[in-house]
Chains A and B, each alone.
Chain A
Amino acid sequence: MSDLRIIGKPRRRVDGRAKVTGQTRFADDLFLPRMLHCRLLRSPHPHAAIRAVQTARAEAAPGVKLVLTGAHFPIAYGILPVSQDEHPLQPDKVRHVGDPVAAVIADSEEQAAAALALIDVDYEPLTTISSPEEALAIDTPRIHDYAQCGNQHKRVALAFGDVDAALQDAAHVFEDVFFFQGNTHLPIEQHAALAAVDENGKLVLWSATQTPHYVHRAAARALDMPAHEIRVIACPNGGGFGGKTDPFNHEIVVAKAALLLGRPVKICLNREEVFYCHRGRHPVLMRFRTGVDADGYIVGMDLETLLDGGAYGSYGVASTFYTGALQTVTYDIPRYRFRGCRTFTNKPACGPKRGHGTPQPRFGQEVQLDKIAQALGKDPADLRLQQIVKAESLTANFLTIGTIGLRQCIEKVVAGSGWRERYGKLPEGRGLGLACSSYLTGAGLPIYWNKMPHSGVQLRLDRLGAVTAFCGATEVGQGSDDVLAACVAEVLGIAPADIHLVTGATDITPVDLGSYSSRVTLMMGNAAIEAAERARELLAKAVAAKLEIPATRISFADRRVFDVEDPESGVDFAEACVLAEVAFGTLGTVGSYTPPRSPARFKGGGVGPSPTYSYTAAVVEVEVDPETGWITVPKVWIGHDVGRALNPTLVRGQVEGSVYMGLGEALMEEQRFRRLPEKLSSAAVHKQPSMLEYKSPTTLEMPDVVTYLVEDPDPRGPFGAKEAGQGPLLPIMPAVANAVFDAVGVRIDETPITPEKIVAALAAKHKGEAPRVGPARFPEIDWPEPVNVAPPWEGGDGKEVPR
C-alpha cells in the first residue's frame, strides 16, 4: 500500500464542484409537471385523544385536491422492528405539539396551508407528561400501551462481573450525577420529499433521507404495497447528522397522495416542522459510580442512565443501549454494570444525533475522570494514558478492539497545546481541559435482523473505458460519494473524477444500509474495493494475454494498464476495457461487505459491536470572565485516530465540523420546552423552534482548530480507514467542562455550559458552598435484574451466565 496514488492525498471532493456552484439538486429543488403541494395539519396539544376529524370544508376549499387523515393510514411503522409505533397521520391520539393529524394536497402551497385552517379536529386533552421524572411518576395515561411499564419505554440492565465487589474493594469510589441536555441536528436543509407515480405505474419517492433502504421498507409496510412497486431515491442531503435516518410521516403522506391522485406531490417542511421531526440527542440524566485503586486505575464502573425519549420509539431502544455501550472502549474497565431507562414524554421523539447515545455518558465519564485526577493529584492526561485499552483485545462487555491510536492522539494534543507547561498554571479565568473518546466504525448489526451484507457495490465498465459505480450509500455531505470514487479509482488506476457515480436509488443500486453509525466509509469502501479488485482481475488477465506476460506483472496507474517490469509496454485504460470485454463479455462486477460476527452473544449485546473503533483526544482552551461568566473558546487541539485518511481534506472537514457541533452542544444548544402555568393551559411547547432563537454557534464563535490525523491503518477498514464523522464530536463537551474548571475552579456537571451557570457556581464557591452546578440526584428506578455476563478475563464466553 506504500504506492497509493489517490488514497491519502488531499483532494477536491468529487461532488465539490456541483455543491459550490449550486448545481446539486436537493429534494426541494425538484419540480415535476403537474406537481401538487402538501401541507400537514399538526396538533396544538401535547397529549390528546382525537375524537373526530371533519374535512369537508377543507375539501371544498380553492385548489384543494385531496385531504388525508389518519383513517387513510391504518398501518403503523417505525425504524426499529420493536418500535412500530408511528403513523403517517395520527388516527386516534396525538402525542406532542406538532404531531401530524391531517394533510391537504392542493395546487399551491398557499392553498394547502389556507385549507388546513378549515379542518376541524375534536380533541380530548390528556394529562401531559413533560419530563422523565413525570414519566416515572405517572403510569396513566400511557403515551404508548406497548411501553415496558407505565411510561417507561424500555429498561435495560447488563452486568459484566461483580461490580459491587469491585467498588467495595476500591481505594476510592467517585459518585457523580450529570445531565446532558437534549439538542437537535439543525441541518441547513429542511426535510423535503416528492412522490410520483411513474409511467409504469410504480411509485417513486425522492427524499432528503440518509437511509433510503429503510424508507423503502417502511413505505412498503405503511402503504401496504409490494416493495418492488416502490422506488426510493435519496437526494443529496444538505446536512443530516442523524436527523434524516428515520422514515418520516411526511414521506409516507406524499407517497399515498401521489398514488391516490396520480400526480406528483411535494412537501418541504419549514424549520419549526424540522424541530418536530427531531430524533435528536436524548436528554440524559446519569449517575456514575467509579471505583479506582490508589494509582487511579479503574477497577469497576456502575452507570445508570435516564433518557427523555419524547413521544415515539424511533431508534430509542438502541439509543438506550448506546448510553452504556462504549464506556469500556477507551480505558480498561475490568468490571462494569450498566442500567438504562428510556421514558416516553409528550415531546418530539429523540433519536440518533451524531454520536448516537454515546456523547452523553462520554461527557459524564470524562468529567468524572478529571475529578478523579484532581482528587488523586494526577495529571488528567497521565491518568488516561496509563489505562488505555489494548489493541486487538476484548472489553468487559465483549467488544472487539482493533487498532488504537489513542495514545498518539493524546500525545499530539498534549504537545500541541503546551499542556505540560500550561495546564493548571494559566492565570485565573483561563484554562485548558482534556478529554478523550471513541466511536463505532459502523454498527455491527443491521436495524432489522438478517445475515446479508450491509453494503453492496456494483461496477460497470464499458468499451469506451467509462466506469460507473453503483451503491445504495447516501451522500449527506460527509463525502461518501468521494470515498466510493476514490476506492474504485485507486484499485483501477484511474482518477476519482473519471468515475460515474449512481448512489442511493433503491431501484438501481445494491443495498447499503444508509448513512448512519459511521458505517459508510468502512462498509461501502470494503465492498467497493472487492468489486474493483474483481474488475481489475478481468482487465489484468486480458491485458496480460495481449502483452504475453503473466497477469501478476500487470499494474494499474495513471489511466494505464501496463507491465510493471516494462512500464512503456501497456495499453490505456479504455483499451484494457475493450480487451476484457472481448475476452469475457460485458463487464460488470460486484462487491459486498458483511461485518464480522460479534463475540457478544448476550441479550442486548447487539448494540456496541463494530468492526473497529476510532479514537479521539482533544484539548480545549477557554477564557472565562469571572464577573459575567462569559465563556469563549479561543483554540482547540484535536487528534483523531482515523486509521488512514482516504482524503485528508474531507477527514479534516469532518473533524472540524465535529468540533463546531460539539462546541454548540457544550456552550449553547438546548432543545427546551415550555410548560405554561397548568391552571391556565395544558400546553407544552418547544421553547424556541427557530434558527434564530435555538442558539447554535456561528462562524464568529468558531475558534482556531489544530487537527492532528493519527494514522495507524486498521486492516479491517478500506486501505486501513476508520470513521471520522462522529467520534471527533465526543471529547469536545467534556473538554470544555474540564477547561472551565481549570479556568475558574467550578464544575458545571451539565450541558450547555452557560454564563448563567458559571456565575451561579462561582457565587456558590464564594459562599463556601460546593462550587458546582449540576443535577442533585438520580431518581430511584425499579431496575430489572441485570443480564449477567462474565468478562473475558473471568472466564466469560460472551453469553449470559444463568443465576
Chain B
Amino acid sequence: MMRVPSFAYHAPRSLDEAAQLLREHGPAARVIAGGTDLVPNMKRRQQTPAVLISLRRVDELRRVERDADGTLSIGAGLTLTRVAALAELAAGQRALMLAASKVATPHIRNVGTLGGNLCLDTRCNYYNQNHEWRQAIGFCMKAPRGEAVEKVAEPSPVCWVATSSPRCWAVSSSDCAPALLALGAEVTLASADSKRRIPLAELYADDGMAYLTKRRDEIVAAIHLPPYPAGQRSTYHKVRRRGAFDFPVLGVGASLTLDDAGRVVKAALALGAVASRPLRVDTSELVGHELDDARIEAFARAAARPAKPLDNTDFHMSWRKKMCQITIATALRELGA
C-alpha cells in the first residue's frame, strides 16, 4: 500500500504555541487540521513536510462566539460535521451548513475542519495522482518532482491542462469557500507575532500553485460571519457525479434578501470549482429589481461567463460550463421563491 513519509509531529495546546512552532520550523513544517486532504497528498508525495503541527488539541480553534456587533465567529478547527449542525447558522447563513454537509463523506466530515476546507489544496487530474503516475507524464508545474511546491525553485515543466500557459490551472475545490463568500465572511490569520483579519476573498489568488495569499507562518484561526439583514436567505448547490465522496465540479453559494415588495435588497453569489480560486459574482444587476424568470436567466447567463472549466476534473468541460448557468438560476429561484 501507499505509505505516509516519515515526519515529526507536534500537538501544541494553544494557537500561540502552534504559531511559534510554525515559525520555528519554517518551510519544512505544515499545519494539519484534520488531514483528510494533506495525508493523501503526503502518501502521493505531492507534499512531504518534515514537520506536522497538529491543531487538534487547540481548544480555542473550536470556539463559536457571537461578537458585540452580532458577528458570528467560528473557530477554524471546528469539524465539518459540527459546522453542518451549527444552529446559529440556520436562519440566514444556511449556505455554510449545506456546504459543510456536502463535503466528501460523514467519516471525512467527522475529521476534516472548516479551516482545512478553506485551505484545501487546489485539485487537478494531472496532479492528484501518485508519484509514479506523475513520473509517467513527466510531472507538471504544480509539483515538478513530487516535492513540496514551496521547496522547488527549479525550471518547471508545463501545465498539462493548457500546455502553452505560463500558469497552473488546478481547481479550487472547497465547498465552504463559495458559501462563505456569499455570506460576506472574513478570516483571522494568526502568526507568532500578529493577528490580522481580512475578507475571505482576499485569502485566495487566481493561481493553481500559489492559491493562498496568506504567509507561510500564518494559521487560519477563525471565520467571521457579519450580521445580515432580516429575512436573508442563503443556499449552496453542489454539482458532482455521486451523492458522496466527490469534490465539486461546481459549487454555487448564494445569499439573497428581498424587501416586502419582492425587490432585491442585497444579493451575493460565488462559484466554486470553476477556477483556481472561488469566484465572486457581481450581483449589482439584481439589486432593486424583482426576481422574475427573465431577470434570473439573464443574470445567470452573465454570471456564468467568467467560469472557465478546463479538462482537469470529472465531467466534460462544456457540460460543466452549461451547468454553471443552470445552477446559478436554480439557486436564485430557490432563494426568491
Q: Is A627 an interface residue (CB 8 A)?
A: yes
* Interface residue ranges, A against B (CB under 8 Å): 42, 44-45, 97-98, 109-110, 113, 190, 268, 270, 272, 627-629, 668, 674, 676-677, 680-681, 683, 685-690, 692-693, 695, 697-698, 700-701, 754-756, 759
Residue of A44, A98, A268 most packed against chain B (CB within 10 A): A44
Within residues 290 to 328 of chain B, which ones have a CB less than 8 A from any CB in chain A?
Answer: 314-316, 318-319, 322-323, 326
**CB-CB under 8 A for A690 and B129, given A268-B1, A755-B319:** yes
Q: Once the chains bind, are B133 and A689 in contact (CB under 8 Å)?
A: yes
Q: Once the chains bind, are B244 and A272 in contact (CB under 8 Å)?
A: no
Q: Is B245 an interface residue (CB 8 A)?
A: yes
Partner of B130 from A268, A272, A668, A754 at Cβ < 8 Å: A272
Q: Once the chains bind, are B316 and A756 in contact (CB under 8 Å)?
A: yes
Contact with A along B126-153 (1 / 0, CB 8 A): 0011101101111000000000000000
Within residues 70 to 125 of chain B, which ones have a CB less than 8 A from any CB in chain A?
Answer: 125
Chain A residues contacting B135 (CB-CB under 8 Å) are 44
* Interface residue ranges, B against A (CB under 8 Å): 1-3, 6, 125, 128-130, 132-133, 135-138, 158, 160, 163, 241-246, 314-316, 318-319, 322-323, 326
Q: Once the chains bind, are B1 and A695 in contact (CB under 8 Å)?
A: no
Chain B residues contacting A697 (CB-CB under 8 Å) are 242
Q: Once the chains bind, are B241 and A668 in contact (CB under 8 Å)?
A: yes
Known: A190-B1, A697-B242. 18 other contacts (CB 8 A): A42-B132, A627-B326, A628-B322, A674-B125, A676-B137, A676-B160, A685-B133, A686-B133, A688-B125, A689-B129, A689-B133, A692-B245, A698-B243, A698-B244, A698-B245, A755-B319, A756-B315, A756-B319
Secondary structure call for the B interface? loop
Chain A residues contacting B323 (CB-CB under 8 Å) are 628
Look across to chain A and name the residue whose beta carbon is closest to the beta carbon of B136: A44
Give A266 Cβ to nearest chain B Cβ, in Å: 11
Partner of A110 from B3, B314, B316 at Cβ < 8 Å: B3
**CB-CB under 8 A for A45 and B136, given A270-B2, A272-B130:** yes
**CB-CB under 8 A for A272 and B125, given A628-B326, A695-B242, A698-B242:** no
Q: Once the chains bind, are B319 and A629 in contact (CB under 8 Å)?
A: yes
Q: Once the chains bind, are A759 and B2 in contact (CB under 8 Å)?
A: no
Bound form: Cα–Cα A268–B315 in Å: 32
Q: Once the chains bind, are B242 and A700 in contact (CB under 8 Å)?
A: yes
Q: Once the chains bind, are B158 and A680 in contact (CB under 8 Å)?
A: yes
Chain A residues contacting B158 (CB-CB under 8 Å) are 680
Chain A residues contacting B160 (CB-CB under 8 Å) are 676
Look across to chain B and name the residue whose beta carbon is closest to the beta carbon of A629: B319
Q: List 9 A-B contacts (CB under 8 A).
A: A42-B132, A683-B136, A692-B245, A693-B125, A700-B242, A755-B315, A755-B319, A756-B315, A759-B322
Partner of A113 from B3, B138, B245, B315 at Cβ < 8 Å: B3
Bound form: Cα–Cα A697–B133 in Å: 24
Chain A residues contacting B6 (CB-CB under 8 Å) are 110
Partner of B138 from A681, A693, A701, A759 at Cβ < 8 Å: A681
Chain B residues contacting A701 (CB-CB under 8 Å) are 242-243
Partner of A677 from B132, B163, B246, B322 at Cβ < 8 Å: B163
Give B163 Cβ to nearest chain A Cβ, in Å: 6
A-B pairs, 3 with minimum CB distance? A700-B243, A44-B136, A756-B319
Look across to chain B and name the residue whose beta carbon is closest to the beta carbon of A42: B132
**CB-CB under 8 A for A695 and B137, given A109-B1, A688-B125:** no
Q: Once the chains bind, are A270 and B129 in contact (CB under 8 Å)?
A: no
Q: Once the chains bind, are B132 and A272 in contact (CB under 8 Å)?
A: yes
Give B288 Cβ to nearest chain A Cβ, in Å: 29
Partner of B133 from A272, A629, A680, A759 at Cβ < 8 Å: A272
Q: Once the chains bind, are B244 and A687 in contact (CB under 8 Å)?
A: no
Chain A residues contacting B130 (CB-CB under 8 Å) are 270, 272
